[in-house]
Structure 1
Amino acid sequence: MNRILIIAPNWIGDAVMSQPLMADLKARYPDSKMDVLASPWVAPIYQACTEVNQVIEAKLEHKKLQWSLRKQLAKQLEKERYEACFVLPNSLKSSLIPWLANIPLRIGYRGEMRFGLINVALDNPSKQNRPPMAEHYLALGGALDAFKVRSNHSANPILNVSTQAKQTVVAKLAQAGIDQKLIYVFCPGAEYGPTKRWPTDHFANLAKQLITSRPAAQIILLGGPGDHALAEHIQAQASHHPQLHNWCGKTQLDEAIALIGMSKTLVSNDSGLMHIGAALKVPQVAIFGSSDPNHTPPLSERAKVIWLNLPCSPCHQRVCPLGHLKCLKAISPQTVLTAIQTLES
């Protein structure tokens, strides 16, 4: 295989989980050039992957067909003469571009009536028997076993920090008067909904306890624009402590990757930033509520997962169906602080 195209998923965490597949493909086909078609939202993840030759950004929107744009992209991609395309999303529309571009091998999981559009297809595992997402994507490489022997590449993602992004973050820290020697990053958001978000008062209490135990600590609240209000609540509940900083919505994704890479420890919910921390191999505490750490764990030996495994979880619901959210509320700030101390000991 000389030319390979990857159709990227639309979520940051899923994008991180696809890196082992690309590493596996690069191990099999070391001379190949691998391009990724991705939305601007996840493009920085692939720019942090050494296996990627080129990231092709396309403003493909969620739940929209955008037929004209897909035809235009297919015409552009056809000129590249890709031999194989891995379609990571399960949707029908995600498989249209490689089909229109006449890419011979179109590999993905069966789903959403895309028979023929995907011509090298694997069965989707049942919801009761789902492997970790990284392994789910990595298994797609096995679809090419008829063409080359499968490699035994690790399913743990690896990202690399952009030098330019790190320089930008260092400048921002200096401008804000933040000492970068002992930075902790807290990520209070989770796109999915409240059942994946540890309570803001718990984050605030953890921040106060952490600063008390480490007076030199600087804590940065990190996330997207939608997490800014959550971070404001945390700041207010922590009495606007001067060592607690709200950077939600104030960094680009490549800068967030760089900041996490500089952190002493990352504390997050089950989110895309959690997976970035794992791929950067920073010490981290990952808090799980309604989701299943067996399916979407942080794949790093330096990660500590905290999950209560209550009888009602994982429910995979956006809002607690029982109305109590015990799966998250019962995880105390002291429990998380102890996990941080264990990681740093």
Structure 2
Amino acid sequence: MEEPFNILVVGPSWVGDMVMAQSLFIVLKQQYPGCRIDVLAPAWSLQLLQRMPQIREAIPMTLGHGQLDLLGRMRIGRGLRSRRYDRAFVLPNSWKSALIPFFAGIPRRTGYVGEMRYGLLNDARLLDKSRLTMTVQRFVALAGCDISDYPFPRLAISPEQQQAVAAKFAANSETKILALCPGAEYGPAKRWPIEHFAKVARHMHQQGWQVWLLGSDKDKVVAEQINALSEQVCRNFAGSTDLAEAVDLMSLADAVVSNDSGLMHVAAALDKKLIALYGSSDPGFTPPLHPDAEIITLKLDCSPCFKRECPLGHTQCLTDIAPERVIAAIPH
């Protein structure tokens, strides 16, 4: 096939997965330097994708997550035909996610069989979970990449974007900044205790650091509780920014402490000193993609359980991670 050629990627629905998908975008650009990559993705992710230099255009997915709307997907697919895509990569495993590339008439449609998507995908792959143990490996393997040597995501934040977000929120980076990310949308079994976050915040404030709390509107209450327990030493941005602003603010930080969450993957992709806390989830499956990220996990017999709430009712996999251990991992 002559280059350049057009590629459509149907993107995932989670922040962390979208960050990890950048490894696939990088691989495609390495394989086909002249290719043009568009990503069909939820509206919340568009500004995140704009910080990935490999992407030509982020196309908003106007249908809600979980919504079938067969006619709506047919309309979107047919609307994309004029773009003349040569190839599609479908990253979600759902049946409905393969419909739009099918209706768009894209000649080669690649993805895992997932929900029996034979026909919708004409380049359907069987997923070998024993070989492809990590999410990022599953993404890059679709492009035929060596799964032992995949590139790490790298978000690109310009000085102008940093200056703009600093001006909007009256933030300064004259002193060191620790960003705390206490949220985890999946559930409480992935959240380090607020008391522990507060202890870290107080200690680092005493060392002369600024402490910022980052998160979505869903994390606002938890962030307020941490700030109250830390005697209001934090600057609480949770719920006050959109995702792009949170990313740009994080780009100003010197270190990040995060639960296993989308912002954890963002921190890794921003090349930050990252301390990642794992409880119910598996750092072998969705680790932060950065060679120097420090993963703290207790490896209890009951974890990872992958549950939203601790089935034993104690969440010791996280509560027993001492704040002192996290403090020691932050460069002073």
TM-score, with structure 1 as normaliser = 0.91
Matched, 1:69 2:72: yes
Shift of 1:234: 0.4
* In 2, Cα distance between equivalents of 1:277 and 1:119: 36
Matched, 1:100 2:99: no
Task: Name the % identity.
Answer: 43
Matched, 1:198 2:192: yes
Q: Are the counterparts in 2 of residues 158 and 279 from structure 1 also a CA contact under 8 Å?
A: yes
Matched, 1:47 2:37: no
The one of 254, 261, 264 equivalent to 2:244 is: 254
Partner of 2:204: 210
CA 1:325–1:229: 2 relative to 1, 3 Å: same
Structure 2 unaligned residues grouped into runs of 5+ = none
Structure 1 unaligned residues grouped into runs of 5+ = 144-149
Shift of 1:69: 2.6
Runs of 4+ more than 2 Å apart: 66-69, 150-155, 162-165, 178-181
- 3-state SS of the aligned residue for 2:55? coil
Partner of 1:273: 263
Give the number of equivalent residue pairs.
329
* In 1, Cα distance between equivalents of 2:77 and 2:90: 14
Deviations 1:170-219 (A, max 9, x none): 10342x6x55431111000001000100011110011111112x22x111
151-160 vs 188-197, which deviates more? 151-160
* In 1, Cα distance between equivalents of 2:115 and 2:79: 25
Shift of 1:49: 0.9
Shift of 1:251: 1.2
* In 2, Cα distance between equivalents of 1:66 and 1:250: 33
The one of 130, 138, 141 equivalent to 1:139 is: 141
RMSD between aligned residues = 1.8
Partner of 1:289: 279
The one of 108, 121, 125 equivalent to 1:122 is: 125
Q: Are the counterparts in 1 of residues 256 and 267 from structure 2 also a CA contact under 8 Å?
A: yes
Residues 158-169 of structure 1: matches in 2 within 5 Å?
158-169=154-165
* In 2, Cα distance between equivalents of 1:173 and 1:183: 15
CA 1:321–1:245: 2 relative to 1, 3 Å: same
* In 2, Cα distance between equivalents of 1:287 and 1:77: 41
Deviations 1:215-265 (A, max 9, x none): 2x1111000000000001101111223xx0111111121111111111010
* In 1, Cα distance between equivalents of 2:270 and 2:261: 15
Q: Are the counterparts in 2 of residues 95 and 117 from structure 1 also a CA contact under 8 Å?
A: yes
Partner of 2:18: 15
CA 1:155–1:132: 2 relative to 1, 3 Å: farther
TM-score, with structure 2 as normaliser = 0.94
